[in-house]
Structure 1
């Protein structure tokens, strides 16, 4: 029996209905026709949802860079009517970025996507068939054998990855069993077609480096991790799936010269071989549709009845250094090139060491907080700033920034996923993009700095308690400090969300500092109530000058109170 499954017409994307909260599985066509009726994507993992969202955005970027909200092509474009693709390069002087901004505004005001999206999908429906002559996100057997070395061809049976390995809820290789898995051993390799589609797209973005098979090239290269694995992803979440897709639809460049981006998703290449030939160059991408659909592996699937055998070969990956086309990441200065004459930036990848650091504590990584702040910010945040400056979104609108990351084990030879981290912070556009003299972002960053100073004070207090108890004071302080910040997260996020541009800034600043001091007092009071005889009796400590002094839980608390008073500005204005 010939298998058939087409992503355009067959249901495979999990969503939550807005009205009922019920989970539904829908096709690409249904999703784009009814995105305003869904609350959000609802796949197996939040990182999987991010991957699917970027695929959906690739479609939207492609369509709305060519057609306006009335389904009409832009006047300064020459389109091929058969392929709906750009026929000739767009003259920089003819390009009108305001037309794209108007398209975004018109779509947002209408509350739904226009018909041209589905028309485009129907035109390229054959490229979205999971089976057949051009299988989606895959290559045929002949193409695979053409791309890999002879010793890696399909007939050899080498270079395969199992279903349980691409399923990122399991991520089990042939060497290391996944102990804490949602599936028992006998079901780890069982999968439905919609599940396989979702995990295949996810695997292309969150690939580890345990596999050894690579496409054949004259120059040697190492198998790369998936592109999203190399980022610290951030995106904006709206009230509906339509809102979310629109807020992340960066139709106009936010940095540099305004140059038209001719969108080129992977399915618009005439053949997979042509796509791979371009990827061999490892050149930086020039458009978001290409970036959002970039493969890390050439995949071929052989079917034995209902069981897939997945062949995988690595592709060279372009560098993430200064790849500012990518809007969904936080950046940091790249210090690896000591001979660089200018500062380079790379994505600030989240790792095991930063696992417990909440998003709000890195507020300055997302938004400019001073005139001297030269660090690159996420392109997505700059895009939202563009919409705010153009009065397309109101100052009162809450901007909910979400960070969703899959954390690797940090091992250069495996990069196996060990944790998924999801965090968010919500603040109104008027606060986030305030540019007044006493602007909120700088004041917020200052308060965060004070908060973290108090966090350091609390760490020293707890370390002193550990020393009095004659236990590993550093480990004890680290554990209790993590609990302290967990206690701060919700109150601070609630305070941040409550800010408006009508507030008395001094009063709102003092409001948080009062709340912070209250939390410190509550945390220390808990220690006082549970104080042991040793905590109360204390120990004698000899300093470097041979001075002896008594340290107990009471002297430690007094020191903490003094430090906190010094670090906060309560009553000083």
Structure 2
């Protein structure tokens, strides 16, 4: 029989790595916020699960510290209302935004200097304890049977037994539907649907953020709507990664946006019905806490006597992401046709492309008017400008992404991709217009990718000599190109992390170009070392004989020519 008393505030369910011992342990929400400085990081079942939970934690912190300062005192710009923890407080009209910005940055800086979160977070959680109970009248991230039946069509009610999603599908390490078995899952047979409450809690949070669109059941609505994929699933996530969990949460704790709004996480709605009613308006949330805790599904769980759950699921309307600048954790792309910014979603074709190769997506290196920086980068820039973080702090931007299969009717996950790059704050936010570091870095990356293109052409030429054609030829060149870039990833990241604002730009650029040239020639030599008599004999073309030697010489010529360019 399943335990019917489990509260996320007081029961252990969050996996963390202890800073001192390096061991994994489970903690409650209260324990986590009291001791975040003692934990290295979250240690969930997947990195995307950790990201979904980080956003939940940030929703709590954003809500609390947008209402109370580091000493637990309410801000003067709030019209207090009647609720103890100011859930009904509104921002005084025409209150100066600059004063709000200065004050919340001061709150942030005070917390950062303290090195831990304050008691007001625990008090807030205790106040909303019933909303964090996994069972009961307000089951966390779920709805009751009565609420579910009221929100879905009559033929989809719980008693009908339809519209269910299995544990093995919610578990994103398996993602198995009842029709297509996952062959390489970490569990087998009936074990795929067996799960402990703490693990299920983590996966439900993850599933709300990374949902496909295979569900057939939708909530009742006056008009037809597209079912919502998980919000995080349709982003190209980027966030700041600290040395401890406390630092990671702090660096991503965005307390100011251009249009300050009352924070309203999903549990502060009076009921699930009220939240669903708000979602049916098809409006983008105007506050971070609500966006971070947004649902893609209403879920209801029925438990049998053996403790196995049956999960009923109904789709909610899709949140439109055009110009969703309230979202801090995504890379943007500009659509010239619609003049809208959209999240630059990654696909299967970009799996092997490292973050550094898209450096210009994370900082406006060329100061183009249509290049929108991620909100988290804008926030970090503000912290640096206000001296809330040291000017020479090494910042790590990280990305964790779940890639779907590209099928519009399923959007099933096929790969998890993680990456990061570290860069000095003074370099990332260089104020030197004449010798702007980000522009220098972007130019270096462009030259690197030109050499990479030359190597791809070299590989393709080799493939032609070896008799490859069409797709086989392209696959051969792509495979060698992927190895080329893989060998560059760590050296470039080391070069980037080693830059300072005191460096002579030209010297550092030449240092990288030397490494690049050595790597390019070394990779070409690997191909040469595996050449056959056919490669040596070559083929006769209208431009003369082409063999492994002439191709290699031409590749070296092109690389040397590229290195001579300013």
Aligned position for 1:184: 188
Shift of the alpha carbon at 1:535? 1.1
1:90–1:260 CA contact under 8 A, matched in 2: no
Aligned position for 2:557: 562
Three-state SS of the structure 1 residue aligned to 2:20 is coil
The question of 1:553 aligning with 2:548 is answered: yes
Shift of the alpha carbon at 1:86? 3.8
Q: Unaligned 5+ residue runs, structure 2? A: none
Shift of the alpha carbon at 1:83? 4.0
Q: Which of 58, 83, 108 in structure 2 is aligned with 1:104?
A: 108
2:237–2:329 CA contact under 8 A, matched in 1: yes
Three-state SS of the structure 1 residue aligned to 2:45 is coil
Aligned position for 2:421: 425
Shift of the alpha carbon at 1:410? 0.6
Alignment TM-score, normalising by the size of structure 2: 0.97
| Correspondence 1:85-124 to 2 at 5 A | 85-93=87-95, 96-124=100-128
1:395–1:431 CA contact under 8 A, matched in 2: no
2:334–2:370 CA contact under 8 A, matched in 1: no
The question of 1:275 aligning with 2:275 is answered: yes
Deviations 1:273-293 (A, max 9, x none): 111100100101100000000
| Correspondence 1:5-404 to 2 at 5 A | 5-79=6-80, 80-93=82-95, 96-253=100-257, 258-305=258-305, 306-334=307-335, 338=337, 340=338, 343-404=339-400
1:40–1:240 CA contact under 8 A, matched in 2: yes
- The 1-side partners of 2:373 and 2:259 are apart by 20
- The 2-side partners of 1:385 and 1:173 are apart by 44
Deviations 1:418-475 (A, max 9, x none): 0000000000101101021111100000000000000010011111111111123322
Shift of the alpha carbon at 1:81? 4.9
- The 1-side partners of 2:530 and 2:556 are apart by 19
- The 2-side partners of 1:398 and 1:425 are apart by 10
Aligned position for 2:444: 447
- The 1-side partners of 2:454 and 2:255 are apart by 46
- The 1-side partners of 2:367 and 2:475 are apart by 39
1:224–1:315 CA contact under 8 A, matched in 2: yes
Aligned position for 1:476: 476
Aligned position for 2:500: 500
Three-state SS of the structure 2 residue aligned to 1:188 is helix
- Number of equivalent positions: 557
2:262–2:287 CA contact under 8 A, matched in 1: yes
- The 2-side partners of 1:489 and 1:380 are apart by 23
- The 2-side partners of 1:405 and 1:210 are apart by 20
1:92–1:259 CA contact under 8 A, matched in 2: no
1:84–1:120 CA contact under 8 A, matched in 2: no
- The 2-side partners of 1:500 and 1:364 are apart by 19
2:53–2:205 CA contact under 8 A, matched in 1: yes
Alignment TM-score, normalising by the size of structure 1: 0.95
Shift of the alpha carbon at 1:94? 5.0
Aligned position for 1:545: none
Three-state SS of the structure 1 residue aligned to 2:67 is coil
The question of 1:530 aligning with 2:558 is answered: no
Three-state SS of the structure 2 residue aligned to 1:568 is helix
Deviations 1:27-85 (A, max 9, x none): 00000000000000000000000000000000000000000000111122233353432
Shift of the alpha carbon at 1:373? 4.8
Shift of the alpha carbon at 1:99? 0.9
- The 1-side partners of 2:456 and 2:101 are apart by 51
- The 2-side partners of 1:424 and 1:83 are apart by 37
Shift of the alpha carbon at 1:567? 1.4
Shift of the alpha carbon at 1:524? 1.2
- The 2-side partners of 1:478 and 1:292 are apart by 37
Aligned position for 1:413: 409
- The 2-side partners of 1:220 and 1:72 are apart by 46
Q: Unaligned 5+ residue runs, structure 1? A: 543-547
1:92–1:260 CA contact under 8 A, matched in 2: no
1:36–1:241 CA contact under 8 A, matched in 2: yes
Three-state SS of the structure 2 residue aligned to 1:493 is helix
1:13–1:25 CA contact under 8 A, matched in 2: yes
